[in-house]
Amino acid sequence: MERTFIMIKPDGVRRKLVGRIIDRIEQRNFDIVAMKMLTPSRKLAEAHYAVHKGKDFYEPLLDFITSGPVVAMVVEGENSITLMRNMMGATKPENALSGTIRGDYTISTRENLIHGSDSPESAACEINLWFPELS
């Protein structure tokens, strides 16, 4: 079974969409093997988004992700990385198809409700970063 890291971002928590998003994950028959709610520290956010350091959206992204609580999860299932990315939908609201999480709920590219690992390598890194107790 494959594992991926999923995070419901502060806008998803603030808009009370946590239950709806988790319901979609469970309806897909994925297992949530770890979950916690926390407000990320600046240090954790910097480590998570290190690949974007130096880009024009990096500082606003850090400010956003540390602005309130997130729900961090480890989701397990066959092809969980690809299937969760498909369920999430495109980052830009105008490209997110109806029926995806972003297509149904997002209103902003910057505040796009959810993050999911994009590869087995990033999943392993992100799970280790957010859930070191699982290592």
- The pLDDT tens digits of the residues spanning 48-102 come to 999 999 999 999 999 999 999 999 999 999 999 999 999 999 999 899 999 999 9
Mean pLDDT for the chain overall: 96
Q: Please report which confidence band the pLDDT of residue 3 belongs to, taking 50, 70 and 90 as the band edges.
A: very high
Mean pLDDT of 9-24: 98
Q: Please report which confidence band the pLDDT of residue 1 belongs to, taking 50, 70 and 90 as the band edges.
A: very high
Annotated catalytic residues are: 115
Q: Please report which confidence band the pLDDT of residue 110 belongs to, taking 50, 70 and 90 as the band edges.
A: confident
Tokens of 111: 């505040």
**Which CATH number applies to 2-134?**
3.30.70.141
Cα distances from 6 to residues 37, 56, 81, 94, in angstroms, run 12, 24, 9, 22
Cα distances from 75 to residues 28, 39, 124, in angstroms, run 11, 20, 12
Chain-centroid distance of CA 93 in Å reads 16
User: Are 64 and 52 spatial neighbours (Cβ–Cβ below 8 Å)?
Assistant: no
pLDDT for residue 81: 98
pLDDT for residue 109: 84
Give the CA count within 13 Å in the CB-facing half-sphere of 19.
1
36, pLDDT greater than 90: yes
Decide the pairing of beta strands 2-8 and 31-38: unpaired
pLDDT for residue 108: 86
- The residues pairing with 100 across neighbouring beta strands, listed in sequence order, are 98
Q: Please report which confidence band the pLDDT of residue 135 belongs to, taking 50, 70 and 90 as the band edges.
A: confident
| pTM for this entry | 0.95
Tokens of 129: 């970063």
Helix axes 80-88 and 18-27, enclosed angle (nearest 10): 140
User: Are 17 and 105 spatial neighbours (Cβ–Cβ below 8 Å)?
Assistant: yes
Q: Please report which confidence band the pLDDT of residue 131 belongs to, taking 50, 70 and 90 as the band edges.
A: very high
